[in-house]
Amino acid sequence: MLNADVEVERRSFTVRATLSVAAGERVALFGASGAGKTTVLEAIAGLVPMSRGSVSLAGRMLSGPGVAVPPWRRRTGLLRQDPGLFPHLPVRDNLRYGSRGAAAAELEPLAAVLGISDLLAAMPARLSGGQAHRVALGRLLLAHCDALLLDEPYSGLDAALRRTLTALVRTLVRDRAVPAVLVAHELADAQAFADRLLVLDRGSVLQAGSPSSVVLRPASRRVASLVGYLGFAPAGRGLAGVHPDRVVPGALPDRGPVLTGTVLASRPSGAAWEADLLVGDTPVTCKLPDQPTGPELVITVLDPPYFGPDGNAIDRPAADARACPGARSSS
Amino acid sequence: MSSAPDTLGVASGGHGGVVPPGASTEAAALPVAGKGSKGSLPRLKTASAWVSVAGALVVWVALLGPVIALLAHLSWRAFWSAVSAPGALDPLLVSVESGLVTLLVLVVVCTPLAYLLARGRLPFPRVWEAGVLCSLLLPPLVIGLLLVFMVGPYTPVGSLIGHFHLTATNTFLALVIAEVYESAPYYVLGAQAAFGSVEPRLEQQASLLGDRPVRVFRRVTLPLAAPGLAMSLAVAWARAMGAFGAVVIIAYHPTGIPLQIFTTLQETGLASALPFALVLLVVALPLPLGAYVWSARAERRRRG
């Protein structure tokens, strides 16, 4: 169990985050670059001093009033984009660097799970990016860290490799029952990994919840922009958030508000088409299965979140009802 | 990093360590044998390639010229009679002893300074670096003169040393002091570069894996900086062995090899000084060469 209540002064703003991660649970800190995500991890690992707050891990107090356990006694494993293998040690010695002999019998089985059994004698300079990450992960696991902190570890790798490694980490976190925190600036990475998502912006947590509730029911327009809403069109009781992925062509009034817009531009995007529309005087971007033909386009925004003039979501009760199936809708 | 190991430059550059993230997919991993790691000869196909090799050869021979001249002008019989004269090898012993003590002082005193400089842990780092450069830029002869005013018998430092019944002029201590001043900047700057080439991220990672700072230094920082440290220590050794400018003023006695060469030259001429020049080379060079070979091997081992 990792409990962190972190407050770190940075040059332009203060980073404040509270998170509590159970053993085997996976939490993602999601936000734009420079939002303070890495700072939170580094405060947990003891690499940056906190101005206030506390960190406890597996029942041990790591930081708090009058307590500051140094990084080497925290047993927090940190994996960054640079795997940080020791270049002067072969893979085997890298793996057992933090294990102090006790985990020697564990090394071979873990290497097999990680798919690096053939590389134990190789030097790190000979490894590919993905292999180096597997070794770095194995090194943390053999050191028996009480928490896994992952700082965008795979952002430099290609998509297929990223998927494989994410799945591997998910399994290992579950099997070993350690709390895991992933920092990501790509929503897809955070969603693929985490049970729970914390949206961080300029040092503050704007919203916390399951990945789907955060994406489908953002608490504010700021969160909505961060998770990919590209337009806010007046509809019904306020501004409907338009996520490009949650738009279908045609009028389906029982599925959500129907908008009519002028096509400004369109381009291929993956296996679909992305179109920029002007709805009234609001620009909206949406994804469509086919290239739009005429100058006018009718779309339905599927069950969008609505935002009031203050930028906060209205219709929260409905959102809560959706998050907990069985609860009675009160709207 | 290309094929040739770093040349005599003290800083051994970046280690060929961590794979740049995302540089390649898994498939492209092991089979990529480092090209040129087996020392394959560059192919000379164009005229400009030939010209550049020829030019480099001329420079190389010119730089080696003095050594070639020494070997060409030295006869074995003259060498043997010179070194077998009674007491002829006493200066050799003095030089080696003072050189070793100098190295010890440098390692103990200057290594921490170099590490702090490399890690930016000192306030006003430029000021500290300027201080180190100062003894590098001052002519050795001037250093010798100034040392007399600094540690001579009638100075505060001199009288402090006197309390321990020591004198810092014309003694073994004076010789060591002079050699330290002449060689320290080479070691500090080299060691600073060697430590600077060790990524702080690696030290941080070792710390997170449970190593206290002393252990991090021993298990990560030192091994990674070792080739560069060895090179700079070797350069410092060569400077200490050959130290003359400051030595001739503050430590005329006991006589080391450089002074022996100088006095022999003055008293009996060029020819009789030559054998001692060879002695100096034979004593001063093995350590740098050994360090060079060792650090090149360490680099190669690291590249796998």
User: Given CB atoms, is A326 within the 8 Å cutoff of chain B?
Assistant: no
Q: Is the pLDDT score of B36 beyond 70? A: no
Q: Which of A45, A74, A87 sits opposite B18 (nearest CB)?
A: A87
Is the ipTM beyond the 0.90 threshold?
Answer: no
Span A55-73, pLDDT tens digits: 999 999 999 888 899 999 9
Say if B23 is an interface residue toward chain A (CB within 8 Å): yes
User: What is the pLDDT at residue B172?
Assistant: 94
pTM: 0.79
Mean pLDDT, rounded, of chain B: 85
Residue A210 pLDDT greater than 50, yes or no: yes
Cis peptide bond N-terminal to A124, omega within 30: no
Task: Give yes or no for residue A118 having a pLDDT over 50.
Answer: yes
Comparing CB atoms, the residue among A72, A74, A84 nearest residue B18 is A84
- What ranges in B197-304 are assigned the alpha helix state H? 200-208, 213-216, 222-242, 245-250, 257-268, 270-284, 286-303
Chain centroid, CA B13 distance in Å: 16
The two tokens of residue B144 are 């010798």
Start-end of H helices in A22-69: 37-45
**pLDDT band (50, 70, 90) for residue B188:** very high
Tell me which of A88-92, A196-200, B116-120, B160-164 is least confident: B160-164
Query: Given this model, what pLDDT does residue B179 score?
Result: 95
Least-confidence region, from A4-13, A142-151, B20-29: B20-29
Name the minimum distance, in Å, from the CA of A142 to any CA of chain B: 10
Which token pair is A225?
């922009």
C-beta atoms of B29 and A82 within 8 A: no
Q: For residue A48, which residues of chain B lie inside 8 Å, CB to CB? A: none
Identify the pLDDT of residue A164.
87
Please name which of B64, B99, B33, B120 lies closest in space to residue B280, comparing C-alpha atoms: B99
CA distance A195 to B148: 74
Which DSSP helix (H) or strand (E) runs through B66? helix B47-73
Check residue A156 and give its pLDDT: 79
Inform me whether the pLDDT recorded for A100 exceeds 90.
Answer: no
Which residues have a Cβ under 8 Å from the Cβ of B66 and sit 6 or more positions away?
A: none
B-chain CB neighbours of A100 within 8 Å are 210
Q: Which of B37, B209, B217, B218 to mutate to test the interface with A (most CBs of A within 10 A)?
A: B209
**Cβ–Cβ pairs < 8 A, chains A and B:** 127
Interface of A with B in 48-77 (CB under 8 A): 70-77
What domains lie within chain B, and their CATH numbers? 10-73 (no CATH), 86-302 (1.10.3720.10)
Closest of A65, A4, A11, A28 to residue A200, by C-alpha:
A28
Phi, psi of A24 (to 5 degrees): 85, -5
**List of chain B residues whose C-beta atoms are within 8 Å of the C-beta of residue A161:** 25-26
From A72, A82, A125, residue closest to B304, measured CB to CB: A125
For strands A258-269 and A272-279, give the pairing. Answer: antiparallel
Q: Do residue B212 and residue A45 have CB atoms under 8 angstroms apart? A: no
Min distance A119 CA to chain B CA atoms (Å): 9
